[in-house]
Amino acid sequence: MPRPFCCRRIGFQPGYSYFKPRGIPTDELSENILTLDELEAVRLADLNGMYQEQAAKCMNVSRPTFGRIIDSAHQKIADVLVNGKVLKIETGKTEFTDTKWYKCQECDTEIEIPQQGPNLTHCPKCGNRYRRGFGHCHRKRGGNNE
């Protein structure tokens, strides 16, 4: 019997749900579905430059599970780009978090602030300037999953 599905934590939801090639009506194109957990994996690993181990902790999944999620996302995105398909983004089994968690890539200082709080630009310990991937991920403390 398979393990029960673990709800994946994400800290980003796009304001859109479709990408498609320009100039071709949607109903003439095949569709590929990308779930929010796959989009979050791409954001953490590819955009923020996190290692899989760190990104997996942010999403509350194991490192091998994160690897499977990111592989699936990369395959779907490549299929959309190469074969000119529609990319539809759907929710899936995810949980939004209520905090922002930063980890400095220079000194490994971890900081957690409320979701509505300010975005950090510098590490308070070493002063490292925030650049894309200061280690920003989202994580919810407490609960049964930690």
How far is the C-alpha of 3 from the C-alpha of 42, rounded, in Å? 24
Section 65-93 average pLDDT = 92
Q: Which domain holds residue 56?
A: 8-97
Of residues 5, 85, 8, the one with CA closest to residue 39:
8
Name the band, by pLDDT with cuts 50, 70 and 90, for residue 41: very high
Question: Over the stretch 45-75, which tens digit does the pLDDT of each residue have?
Answer: 998 888 999 888 888 889 999 999 999 999 9
Section 113-129 average pLDDT = 68
Tokens of 57: 């902790």
Q: Does residue 93 form part of some domain?
A: yes
Residue 85: CA atoms inside 13 Å, Cβ hemisphere, count?
A: 16
Q: Does residue 12 form part of some domain?
A: yes
Scanning the structure block, which residue is given the tokens 């890539």?
105
Q: Does residue 48 form part of some domain?
A: yes
Q: Does residue 33 form part of some domain?
A: yes
Section 103-116 average pLDDT = 67
Q: Does residue 83 form part of some domain?
A: yes
Number of domains in the chain: 1
How far is the C-alpha of 82 from the C-alpha of 69, rounded, in Å? 20
Q: Does residue 37 form part of some domain?
A: yes
Name the band, by pLDDT with cuts 50, 70 and 90, for residue 42: very high
Q: Does residue 107 form part of some domain?
A: no
